[in-house]
């Protein structure tokens, strides 16, 4: 009987563990000019209902500048999408992370978009709990 209850619970929850919690890592970029750059990323995910996630993201770029913003995104099975907009005097910078979760790791791609469609840095994202 216990096995049937466990099986039913797994089927209803989609067998995916929550991504709620603290995630820390880097986005590694290779910008024009050939100088590699890393952006430190900290994602504090408060809510994960199996579809939508909410929280707060903090970044520190290669110049040491840090910014904090609200985080929104989605979580479907092992796939996770996170997005934050960071205000500046030039406009909104947007960081998107599209990753695959495996245990306590998230690995995928990140994009740091500059204001007014001037371009984006594309790189690799690695986050861990």
Q: State yes or no: pLDDT of 124 exceeds 70.
A: yes
Asked, for residue 1, whether it belongs to a domain, the answer is no
At 33-74, the pLDDT tens digits run 666 788 999 999 999 998 999 999 999 977 778 899 999 999
Per-residue pLDDT at 14 exceeds 80: no
Q: Tell me whether residue 4 is in a domain.
A: no
Write the CATH number for 97: 2.40.128.30
pLDDT tens, position by position, 69-98: 999 999 999 999 999 999 888 788 899 999
How much is the pLDDT for 51?
92
Residue 27 in this model has a pLDDT that exceeds 60:
yes
105 lies in a domain?
yes
Total domains present in the chain: 1
- Closest by alpha carbon to 121, among 59, 44, 76? 59
The closest of 31, 81, 36, 40 to 59, measured between CA atoms, is 40
Does the pLDDT at position 32 exceed 70?
no
How many Å apart are CA 50 and CA 84, to the nearest integer?
19
Kindly state whether residue 93 falls inside one of the protein's structural domains: yes
Q: What pLDDT is recorded for position 77?
A: 92
In a domain, 88, yes or no: yes
**54 within domain boundaries:** yes
Structural domain of 29: 19-128
pLDDT (mean) for 93-107: 96
Q: Is residue 60 part of a domain?
A: yes
Examine residue 68 and state whether it is found in any structural domain, yes or no. yes
């Amino acid at each position: 009987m216990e096995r049937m209850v466990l099986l039913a619970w797994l089927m209803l929850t989609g067998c995916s563990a929550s991504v709620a919690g603290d995630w820390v890592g880097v986005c590694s970029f290779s910008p024009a000019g050939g100088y590699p750059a890393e952006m430190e990323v900290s994602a504090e995910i408060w809510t994960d209902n199996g579809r939508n996630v909410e929280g707060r993201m903090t970044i520190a770029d290669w110049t040491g500048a840090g910014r904090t913003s609200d985080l929104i995104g989605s979580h479907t099975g092992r796939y996770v999408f996170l997005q934050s907009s960071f205000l500046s005097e030039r406009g909104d910078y947007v960081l998107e992370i599209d990753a695959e979760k495996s245990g306590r790791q998230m690995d995928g791609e990140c994009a740091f978009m500059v204001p007014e469609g001037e371009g984006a840095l594309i790189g690799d994202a690695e986050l861990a709990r």
